[in-house]
Amino acid sequence: MKQSNMKTIVFTGFFAALIFLGIQSFRIPMPAAVGTPFLHFGHIFVVLTILCLGPKRTAIAAVLGFVIFDILNGYLHAIPNVLISAVINCLVSGMLFLKLKKMFKENKKKEFYSAVLCTAVYGILNIIIDFCWSAGELIIAGSAISAAIAAELTAIPATMINSCFMIIGVAILYVPVKNAFSRISNA
């Protein structure tokens, strides 16, 4: 196996473990009418992985980290949602970041703002996908459409709080993580 392939596998596995630990080791429960949301570092680490590894490898790492967490913590029912949302979030925000990074080549300040913007896009996508998925589950389970939408509207603040937390976390951690990753990956 080539050294570059080995590095790719190791980095993907490392970030998958980091994403898992970001959810597993730091959870603050939040109230919601639907589900059991909690504040965590998992999405922060997913976005930082997108910014370091790119969208495709991050989609793999995110799915691994989230699914392992779900299996070990009794959230098996959430796995389909996690698979779909992780892949969509990683690919869309990751492709956007690659395009912006190429456009603002060598401009560190604009690259930073691009990273924060892509984090916001990830958060907005997460809110939309989570809302649609959960409302759909309630409708399939027999709720009226209006009742499902009303229930999900009460759950959105928890997802919005997580998204804001993620934007702040990435804004703080992006530069040091990017610099450390550059040093390690070029070694």
Q: Which amino acid is at 64?
A: L
Instruction: Give just the sign of the alpha carbon dihedral 93, 99, 101, 107.
Output: negative
pLDDT at 30: 81
pLDDT tens column, 142-162? 989 999 898 888 878 888 888
Determine the distance from the C-alpha atom of residue 16 to the mean position of all C-alpha atoms in its chain, rounded to a whole number: 11
Main-chain dihedrals φ then ψ at residue 39, nearest 5 degrees: -80, 135
Token representation of residue 135: 């409302």
Enclosing domain of residue 156: 3-185
Determine the distance from the C-alpha atom of residue 14 to the mean position of all C-alpha atoms in its chain, rounded to a whole number: 15
- Please list the residues that pair with 28 across neighbouring strands: 39
Q: Which of 91, 111, 94, 100 is nearest to 171 (CA)?
A: 111
Which CATH number belongs to the domain containing residue 62 in this structure? 1.10.1760.20
Residue 35 DSSP SS3:
coil
- Please answer whether residues 33 and 148 qualify as being in contact, where contact means their C-beta atoms are separated by less than 8 angstroms: no
Quote the number of domains for the chain: 1
- Please answer whether residues 122 and 47 qualify as being in contact, where contact means their C-beta atoms are separated by less than 8 angstroms: yes
Token representation of residue 33: 């009418």
pLDDT at 165: 93
pLDDT at 27: 85
For residues 172 and 46, what is the distance between their CA atoms, to the nearest angstrom?
Answer: 15
Which regions in the chain score pLDDT beneath 50? none
pTM of the model: 0.88
pLDDT at 3: 66
Residue with token string 């698979």: 83
Cβ neighbours, 10 Å, residue 178: 17
